[in-house]
Structure 1
Amino acid sequence: MPLPVQESGPFNLLRPLLLLFYSGWYIPHTILNLVTSLNLRPLTSFEDFKDHWFARFWTWFGPRARENAAVKVTPLLKDARGVVLDIGPGTGQWLNVFARAMNPEISKIYGVEPNVGLHAELRQNAVKAGLGDVYEIIGCGAEELNTKGGVEKGSIDTITTVQCLCSIPGPERVIKDLYPLLKPGGKWIVYEHVKTKYQGDFVGTWQRFINLIWPHFFGGCDITRPTDEWLLTAGDWEKVDLRPGVGEGKYDTMPHVMGSLTRRK
């Protein structure tokens, strides 16, 4: 994969610090909400608390992240067809792209979202997008689809992963397990954080340093995973159209891979 054209400057290295501040701002807000609602159990478990914290933060930040990424992600998602497996939809910030008026070729969508704190808004957004009758929420992780999800092999026309493979446990194994769910000729649409290609530059070290705390502030997101490499080796692809994120270069701590892969017929 060719290196992206450098269109960013050194100040881009500071962007992760700003995003960490935004997330951290919601810690006291989450504690106050739990106390005033007398829901004290999450305060006894850091993992439970992080779920509530991230749900509140993402309700605010998700739409803003969507706005920044829309110019890159929307054209990709418009290619979704048939039965769609929507991995990690969060609150459903991309559901308008799947709306019948935008994409009448979608017949069913399975939204795989393990964070139950996001389900209510995800369902509301599905209804708002006119997808209430075709959108089904599966409340487990992508790593549990084979045992809990009830999705059969060879039943999916389109898999969509938008900034979610960075946060699931055991991502390399999950990617290999998702591949058989695709029908022959099925397409996997991707927009994901990946390990920077500039490992010999400062950004490689900086990315690893930021990643020491980043997963705690961003729902388990790991920005150092070579997800693009794992996708390429997941199965037999007839067509691969993967490219670096638009305008990303050697100063981007959170670079992306974007595009699609088509399973061989």
Structure 2
Amino acid sequence: MGQFMQEGPTKLLRPLLLLSYSAMYIPITIYHLITSFDLGPFTNFSTFKDHWFAHFWTFFGPRSREAASATVTPLISNAATGICLDIGPGSGQWLSLFAKASNPSITKIYGVEPNVGLHKELRANAIKAGLGDVYEVLGVGAQDLAKVGLEKGSVDTIITVQVLCSVPKPEEIIKSLYPYLKPGGKWLIFEHVKTHYREDFVAWWQRTVNIVWPTFFNGCDICRPTDEWLLQAGEWEEVSLKFGSDEGKYDTVPHAIGTLTKKR
């Protein structure tokens, strides 16, 4: 079926396949909660969703990383330099790409992760990637960096990989991060974005799918014009953004990929 949806209008069916994968983990989550006598999440849908997504992501996360690896690897390897802000790294699934062998000029990485439940695994993965001496976890939101003493104009590289689609108030966060970049600093992005084919059927289909998509994918909103918000965040010396190499007018969950360089 995956091969069947590689090209043409049949690609419009792909989000339904992904939604079905997530839905499969609803009964699995119910079973695990009941058999572990953990009935609390049944009284709070938000808590239940957290358990549901955790079970689903155990299966889907590695597959998602594998699918994105061909794009994310060249984006980050040999591109991240100096002092870096790694926004929303989660448990650190991409940290191996920051390894000194690929990015020898990195001097410091701040992993901005507000979910403290992920910090232990994030630190462990930083050590596993050989970054234990340069990777520091900041347990705040991206909009609260001033609270931990980070100075504006001090960052060489900002990295956001599939995080701006799910954070609250993304436009405000993007504007708040821009001042932290040094002149000439780079923002590396790989993000879900609103389709650019605004007059085609896919635009309506994307909005329709997005009615349920955030519930099934932990708050991910596929209709955010994140690339446009980035362009409007401040002055850029150079912009190199594109859709995925195999993405077009039949892709319901397209990505913006590339680099923005702050004006010197």
Check whether TM > 0.5: yes
CA distance in 1 between partners of 2:216 and 2:259 (Å): 29
Alignment CA distance shift 1:154-1:251 (3 Å): same
Using the TM superposition, give the Cα deviation of residue 85 of structure 1 relative to its aligned residue in structure 2, in angstroms: 0.8
Which residue matches 2:64?
A: 65
Name the SS for the 2:183 alignment partner. strand
User: Percent identity at matched positions?
Assistant: 66
* CA deviation profile, 1:155-204 (whole Å, cap 9, x unmatched): 21110011111111111111000001111211100111111111211111
Call closer, same or farther: CA 1:44–1:82 in 2, change over 3 Å: farther
Match of 1:91 in 2: 91
SS at match of 2:151: coil
Query: Do 1:166 and 1:193's aligned partners in 2 also have CA atoms closer than 8 Å?
Result: yes
Q: Which amino acid aligns with 1:86?
A: D
Aligned equivalents of 1:107, 1:60: Cα separation in 2: 34
Could you tell me how far apart the structure 1 residues matched to 2:152 and 2:85 are?
Answer: 12
Kindly report which structure 2 residues correspond to 1:128-167, keeping only aligned pairs within 5 A, or say none: 128-147=128-147, 149-167=148-166
The one-letter amino acid paired with 2:169 is G
2:53 paired residue number: 54
Name the amino acid aligned to 2:218: G
SS in 1 for 2:258: strand
- The aligned residue for residue 104 of structure 1 is 104
Mean alpha-carbon deviation: is it higher for 137-146 or for 17-26?
137-146
* Mean Cα deviation higher: 229-238 or 120-129: 120-129
User: How many positions carry a matched residue from both structures?
Assistant: 258
2:80, 2:12 → 1: CA distance? 34
State the one-letter code of the partner of 2:95. L
| 1:27 alignment partner AA | I
**Residue ranges of structure 2 left out of the alignment (5+ in a row):** 1-5
> Residues 243, 236 of structure 1: CA spacing in aligned structure 2 closer, same or farther, 3 A cutoff?
same
Greater RCO (CA < 8 Å, at least 6 residues apart): 1
Deviation at 1:34, TM superposition (A): 3.9
What amino acid maps onto 1:101 in structure 2? Answer: A
| Structure-2 separation of matches of 1:151 and 1:121 | 24
Deviations 1:10-62 (A, max 9, x none): 11111111111222222233344444445544443222332332233223322
Shift in CA distance, 24/127, structure 1 to aligned 2, threshold 3 Å: farther
- Give secondary structure in 1 for the equivalent of 2:70: helix
Q: Which runs of 4+ in 1 moved over 6 A?
A: none
**Structure 1 residues 193 and 31, CA gap change in structure 2 (3 angstroms):** same
Q: Alpha carbons of 1:142 and 1:27: their partners in 2 closer, same or farther (altered >3 Å)?
A: farther
Q: Which residue of 1 aligns with 2:43?
A: 44
Task: State the distance in 1 between where 2:55 and 2:29 align.
Answer: 7
Residues 135-144 or 12-21, more deviating? 135-144
- Decide whether aligned partners of structure 1 residues 59 and 143 sit closer, same or farther in structure 2, where only a CA change above 3 A counts: farther
Cα separation, 2, equivalents of 1:140 and 1:237 = 27
Q: Is the 8 A contact 1:99 1:129 kept in 2?
A: yes
Query: Match of 2:3?
Result: none
Provide the alpha-carbon RMSD of the alignment. 1.9
Give the equivalent residue in structure 1 for 2:196: 197
- Cα-to-partner distance string for 1:209-248 (whole Å, 9 max, x where unaligned): 1000111111111000111111001011111111122111
Corresponding residue SS for 2:204: helix
Query: What is the CA distance between 1:70 and its match in structure 2?
Result: 1.2
Report whether the alignment pairs 1:125 with 2:125: yes
**2:15: which partner in 1?**
16
CA distance in 2, matches of 1:253, 1:232: 22
CA contact (8 A) 1:143 1:170 kept: no
- What is the CA-CA distance between 1:261 and the residue it aligns to? 0.6
Map of 1:264 onto structure 2: 263
Give the partner amino acid of 2:54.
A
Q: 1:162 to 1:44 in 2, by over 3 A?
A: same
Name the structure 2 match of 1:170: 169
Comparing 76-85 with 125-134, which one deviates more in the overlay?
A: 125-134
| Distance in 1 of aligned mates of 2:51 and 2:150 | 28
CA distance in 2, matches of 1:127, 1:48: 31
Q: 1:53 to 1:140 in 2, by over 3 A?
A: farther
In structure 2, relative to structure 1, the CA distance for the partners of 1:35 and 1:138 (3 Å cut) is farther
1:247 match: secondary structure: coil
Residue 71 of structure 2 aligns to which amino acid in structure 1? K
Provide the rounded CA distance (Å) in 2 between the counterparts of 1:104 and 1:257.
26
